[in-house]
Amino acid sequence: MQTSNRVRGISVENPLLQINHLSTSFRIGDQYYRAVDDVSLSVNKNEVLGIVGESGSGKSALAYSIMRLHNRAKIEGEILFRGKDIMTLKNSEMNKLRGNDMAMIFQDPLTALNPLMPVGNQIGETLLLHQPNISKHERKERVLELLHLVGIPRPNYVYEQFPHELSGGMRQRIVIAIAIANKPELLIADEPTTALDVTIQAQILDLIRELKEDMHSGVILITHDLGVVAEMADRVAVMYAGEIVEIADVVSLFENPLHPYTRSLLNSVPAEGQDRLHVIQGIVPALQYLPREGCRFRERIPWIDPSAHEEHPELHEVEPGHFVRCTCFKQFYFPDKREEAGIYGNS
Amino acid sequence: MKFMWKFIVRRIIITFPQLILLSVLLFLMAQAMPGDALTGLIDPNVPEEVKEQRREELGLNDPWHVRYVDWVSGIVKGDLGQSFRFKMPVTEVVTDRVINSFWLSLVTLVFTYLIAVPLGMLSGRYNNTLLDSAITTYTYIGFATPIFIFALVMVWVFGYNLGWFPTSGSVAPGLEPGTMEYYLSKFYHLLLPALSMALIQTVSTVQYLRSEIIDTKQKDFIITARAKGASESRVYNRHIFRNSILPIAAFFGYEITTLITGSIFVERIFAYPGMGQLFIESVLLRDFSVVNAVVLLFGIAMILGALLSDIILSIVDPRIRIK
């Protein structure tokens, strides 16, 4: 982390966002279960932090916690935004930050817009909430500018349209326009391209990158697409079962991945000359059944000697700015076909 | 907006074949009833040939489509025939009753929504709290109580025992129509029946609104609204409420139907001279020309209610306007 920041000449002492020991728990039945477990990380201005992991690894729960958008979750820990702990803010004070200083791009553009409101008004609402003094006319001008900025043709026409009249890619542009309307310092993009087809994906990512360059915002990019991370992120945090298992700058992570989970993820990406695709066996366990003791990835790499895991896995700094959880990475290897057949009992 | 007008015009055009079909059906059913216009009106001692001659003069022997056109053109001119019981034109009989039913139903509707909207919103917003349980309990009691029992209890308590409200009629006797006292008295007579009906009718609307709000508040676009920095009250008033009233808006048109049809039970219990009461009495006394006119009006009211309901929906929900 320090290396990458030094390279960019940004002081590490004042990150835009500093999360310390954040845990988010949801109630199932009578008990609370941690979907985000003791996560600490930081995001600097003008930096893209990628967060990767499978579904259910707690990425979105983390993002929603930062914006404090959870309805009924227990959140513990510190979220320092510009040095101030926003966990202590009242909801009305939080409302002044949301949509203004920090904003979010949502995963599914098909459901993220109000079906009964023309899209122009939906973008305008963000302006209205944080800049109540500008005139109606000026607000409309700003919305038209925003529509133009996110690459929507014929802004005047689209302004009056309803979400159902627009395509998925167009709607995602509207969602982005809402998020960037007030030039937020922190932009959280929660799988912004998951619901879109590949050609649109590239356009949307380019757009997010351009906007980031313009606004010098810090960006948290949540995705399960490693290609997206490689292309966009400056630093990457890999999450598994609510924990960060590895965090490093993007070059180190892709050139020298350490944690078995990171290596398995990278190995699961189709590559040329590969005869078969690696599959990580098993699934992320449901929230109630997450292992709470020892290495959480243990069960999905059963061929590794159990003694390789730490009893209480911690993040170790293996090189400056490159952290990895648990010691099992030292002994990790991919099983060959014969061995794999022995482990899983299939051919 | 352009789409909306297109939709409304197209929707209105569709109602014409509906109205024609309704009138044909009604005409054929009326024809199927025994007797004709002369039965009961003419001296039984008049010889058959004279009756036959009268029939010929009145056009009763014409083919059915000629008689149908005759009947329809009469209706269009406001001629619904003669009431056998009242010995006066059906149009006159019906007009008074429609006006009474209209006011009763209007006041009932106003009460219904005055109760339903706040209760439904509170219940949906604070679901699974004590307040919500209390409101839900009321709705279950409302569902379980038949209106004719409840209305009787209301008459007995507030009419007879406490004497706060009149127990029958639509206006106090001896008042000059057109004066202030006359209208006040009319309104006073409306209150108890309207309130009785509203208290029972409203529970389904409360339930609809409650479940819609609970459903809407966990939609993704509500999170978008919160992420914009909208306050809770703004989220509820601007985003959740409008999306939750769609089924109620759809229902509203049909409720409008009751403005014309009135309420059979409540009008009877409160001895209120409206359409519901007229319908029951005319059926019992076999005053067929009135029954015919009333059924026709009810049918028209239903068709117009459906029309109105679709138009309201198209205004509230832009997704309906296309196609």
Q: Which residue has the higher pLDDT, A308 or A323?
A: A323
Q: Is residue B23 part of a domain?
A: no
Sheet holding A84-85, edge to edge: A31-43, A17-28, A73-81, A84-85
Give the residue among A57, A27, A30 at the shortest CA–CA distance from A224. A57
pLDDT at A210: 86
* Least-confidence region, from A80-84, A304-308, B23-27, B173-177: B173-177
Residue B1 has pLDDT above 70, yes or no: no
Report the percentage of chain A scoring pLDDT > 90: 37
Confidence of residue A13 (pLDDT cuts 50, 70, 90): low
* Least-confidence region, from A244-248, A299-303, A337-341, B43-47: A337-341
Q: Is A86 at the interface with chain B, CB within 8 A? A: no
- The model's pLDDT over B8-21, given as tens digits with 9 standing for 90+, comes to 888 889 899 999 99
* Domains contained in chain A, number: 1
Taking the C-alpha atoms of residue B154 and residue B3, their distance in angstroms, rounded to an integer, is 48
Give the residue among A26, A169, A43 at the shortest CA–CA distance from A102. A43
Fill in the amino acid letter for B145: T
**What residues of chain A lie within 8 A of the CB of B238, using their CB?**
125
Contact between A123 and A114 (Cβ < 8 Å):
no
Using CB atoms, pick whichever of B221, B226, B317 lies closest to residue A113. Answer: B221
Q: What are phi and psi of A323, to 5 degrees?
A: -110, 145
Q: Is A95 at the interface with chain B, CB within 8 A? A: yes
Contacts of residue B9, Cβ cutoff 8 Å, sequence gap at least 6: none
Q: Is residue B313 part of a domain?
A: yes
Give the residue among A243, A179, A163 at the shortest CA–CA distance from A217. A179
Confidence of residue B319 (pLDDT cuts 50, 70, 90): confident
pLDDT at A120: 94
Taking the C-alpha atoms of residue A212 and residue A217, their distance in angstroms, rounded to an integer, is 5
Q: Which residues pair with A105 in a beta bridge?
A: A189
Q: Is residue B166 part of a domain?
A: yes
Q: Do A96 and B229 touch (CB under 8 A)?
A: yes
Q: Is residue B27 part of a domain?
A: no
Using CB atoms, pick whichever of A111, A130, A175 lies closest to residue B219. Answer: A111
Q: Do B221 and A114 touch (CB under 8 A)?
A: yes
- The model's pLDDT over A255-283, given as tens digits with 9 standing for 90+, comes to 999 888 888 888 887 777 767 777 777 77
- The model's pLDDT over A83-112, given as tens digits with 9 standing for 90+, comes to 889 999 898 999 999 999 999 999 888 899
Taking the C-alpha atoms of residue A188 and residue A205, their distance in angstroms, rounded to an integer, is 13
pLDDT at B3: 65
Structure tokens at A338: 């014969």
Q: Is residue B45 part of a domain?
A: no
Q: Is residue A61 part of a domain?
A: yes
Q: Which residue has the higher pLDDT, A222 or B319?
A: A222
CATH number at A282 reads 3.40.50.300
Q: Do A95 and B231 touch (CB under 8 A)?
A: yes
Contact between A313 and A295 (Cβ < 8 Å):
yes
Q: What residues make up the domain containing A342? A: 1-101+222-347
**What residues of chain B lie within 8 A of the CB of A100, using their CB?**
229
Q: Is A115 at the interface with chain B, CB within 8 A? A: yes
Using CB atoms, pick whichever of A71, A108, A125 lies closest to residue B228. Answer: A125
Confidence of residue B203 (pLDDT cuts 50, 70, 90): very high
Q: Which residue of B has its CA nearest to A160?
A: B1
* B316 Cα to chain A: minimum distance (Å): 7
Contact between B295 and B317 (Cβ < 8 Å):
no
Q: Is residue B129 part of a domain?
A: yes
pLDDT at A225: 86
DSSP annotation of B239 reads: I
**ipTM score for this prediction:** 0.84
Q: Is residue A178 part of a domain?
A: no
Q: Is residue B61 part of a domain?
A: no
Using CB atoms, pick whichever of B218, B229, B317 lies closest to residue A129. Answer: B229
Residue A1 has pLDDT above 50, yes or no: no
pTM of the model: 0.80
Where is mean pLDDT largest: B48-52, B83-87, B90-94, B255-259?
A: B90-94
Q: Which residue has the higher pLDDT, B269 or A272?
A: B269
Q: Which residues pair with A98 in a beta bridge?
A: A102
How is B303-322 classified by DSSP, letter by letter? HHHHHHHHHHHHHH-GGGT-
Contact between A117 and B248 (Cβ < 8 Å):
no
Contact between A54 and A68 (Cβ < 8 Å):
no
Q: Is residue A41 part of a domain?
A: yes
- The model's pLDDT over B104-148, given as tens digits with 9 standing for 90+, comes to 888 998 999 999 999 999 999 998 899 999 999 999 999 998 888
Residue B56 has pLDDT above 80, yes or no: no
pLDDT at A264: 87
Residue A82: count other Cβ atoms within 10 Å of its Cβ: 16
Report the percentage of chain B scoring pLDDT > 90: 20
Residue A4 has pLDDT above 50, yes or no: no
Using CB atoms, pick whichever of A96, A98, A115 lies closest to residue B227. Answer: A98
Packing angle, helices A198-215 and A168-180, rounded to 10: 10
pLDDT at A3: 43
Q: Which residue has the higher pLDDT, B50 or B158?
A: B158
Q: Is A113 at the interface with chain B, CB within 8 A? A: yes
Contact between A318 and A262 (Cβ < 8 Å):
no
Q: Do A113 and B225 touch (CB under 8 A)?
A: no
Q: Is A74 at the interface with chain B, CB within 8 A? A: no
pLDDT at A277: 72
Taking the C-alpha atoms of residue B259 and residue B273, their distance in angstroms, rounded to an integer, is 14
Residue A165: count other Cβ atoms within 10 Å of its Cβ: 16
Fill in the amino acid letter for A266: L
Q: Is residue A216 part of a domain?
A: no
Which ranges of chain B would DSSP assign to H, the alpha helix? 2-32, 48-58, 64-76, 90-125, 130-144, 147-154, 180-216, 220-227, 232-234, 241-244, 246-261, 264-269, 275-284, 288-316
Q: Is residue A148 part of a domain?
A: no
pLDDT at A345: 60
Give the residue among A228, A8, A61, A309 at the shortest CA–CA distance from A236. A228
* Domains contained in chain B, number: 1
Using CB atoms, pick whichever of B221, B227, B234 lies closest to residue A69. Answer: B227
Average pLDDT for chain A: 85
pLDDT at B115: 93
Chain B residues within 8 Å of chain A (Cβ atoms): 218-221, 223-232, 234, 238-239, 242-243, 316-319, 322
Q: Is A164 at the interface with chain B, CB within 8 A? A: yes
Q: Is residue B65 part of a domain?
A: no
Residue A50 has pLDDT above 90, yes or no: yes
Q: Do B230 and A125 touch (CB under 8 A)?
A: yes
Packing angle, helices B288-316 and B246-261, rounded to 10: 160
Q: Is residue A150 part of a domain?
A: no
What is the C-alpha radius of gyration for chain A, rounded to an integer number of angstroms? Answer: 21
pLDDT at A5: 42
Q: Which residues of B23-56 are buried (b: 16+ CB within 10 A; e: fewer)?
A: beebbeeeeeeeeeeeeeeeeeeeeeeebeeeee
* A96 Cα to chain B: minimum distance (Å): 6
Residue B166 has pLDDT above 90, yes or no: no
Taking the C-alpha atoms of residue B305 and residue B314, their distance in angstroms, rounded to an integer, is 14
Q: Which residues pair with A102 in a beta bridge?
A: A98, A186
Taking the C-alpha atoms of residue A159 and residue B159, their distance in angstroms, rounded to an integer, is 58
pLDDT at B105: 87
Q: What residues make up the domain containing B289? A: 88-318
For chains A and B, what is the number of CB pairs under 8 angstroms? 76
Q: Do A129 and B219 touch (CB under 8 A)?
A: no
Packing angle, helices B64-76 and B2-32, rounded to 10: 120
Q: What are phi and psi of B111, to 5 degrees?
A: -60, -45
Residue B55 has pLDDT above 80, yes or no: no
pLDDT at B94: 86
- The model's pLDDT over A54-91, given as tens digits with 9 standing for 90+, comes to 888 888 899 999 999 887 888 999 999 988 899 998 98
Q: Is A130 at the interface with chain B, CB within 8 A? A: yes
**What residues of chain A lie within 8 A of the CB of B228, using their CB?**
98-99, 103, 125-126, 129, 178
Fill in the amino acid letter for B105: S
CATH number at B103 reads 1.10.3720.10
Our CA angle for A180, A184, A185, nearest 5°, is: 140
pLDDT at B60: 72
Average pLDDT for chain B: 84
Q: Is A112 at the interface with chain B, CB within 8 A? A: yes
Residue A321 has pLDDT above 50, yes or no: yes
Taking the C-alpha atoms of residue B229 and residue A129, their distance in angstroms, rounded to an integer, is 7
